[in-house]
Amino acid sequence: MFLPPADVHYAFHYAKGIRDVFSGLLLVAFAGLGYDRPLAWVTLLGALIPGVDLAVVLAQPTASLAFELPHMIAIGLLLGLAASLFTTSATPAGVQQPAQLSRHAA
């Protein structure tokens, strides 16, 4: 099994938790700054995380729909959000676009 020994005291959960916190902070930062295209790429590539998690679950002899479903839902939500962000090109009225990043100082 892929779970740590009982005497490790949730080391696996801490490792998974920091991954989730980092991903969440990155999404919040891009969304708050209005960087739709980078946010779309992060969500698209972020779908790999529940995809690999799903593969790990499916490899287990105890795999069941109850264990698989949360990962499938996460994949669907991330891919849907990424598609929405990639296809949204218009800026709503009153929303200022973030300044373009350049290599040269102004």
In a domain, 3, yes or no: no
Report pLDDT for 80.
95
The structural domain count of the chain equals 1
Contacts with 8 (C-beta within 8 Å, 6 or more apart), sequence order: none
Domain that holds residue 61: 10-87
Per-residue pLDDT of the chain (106 residues; tens, 9 = 90+): 455 556 656 666 677 788 888 888 998 999 899 888 999 999 999 999 999 989 999 999 988 999 999 999 999 999 999 999 998 855 555 566 666 666 665 5
In a domain, 5, yes or no: no
Report pLDDT for 92.
58
Cβ distance 62 to 54 under 8 Å?
no
In a domain, 25, yes or no: yes
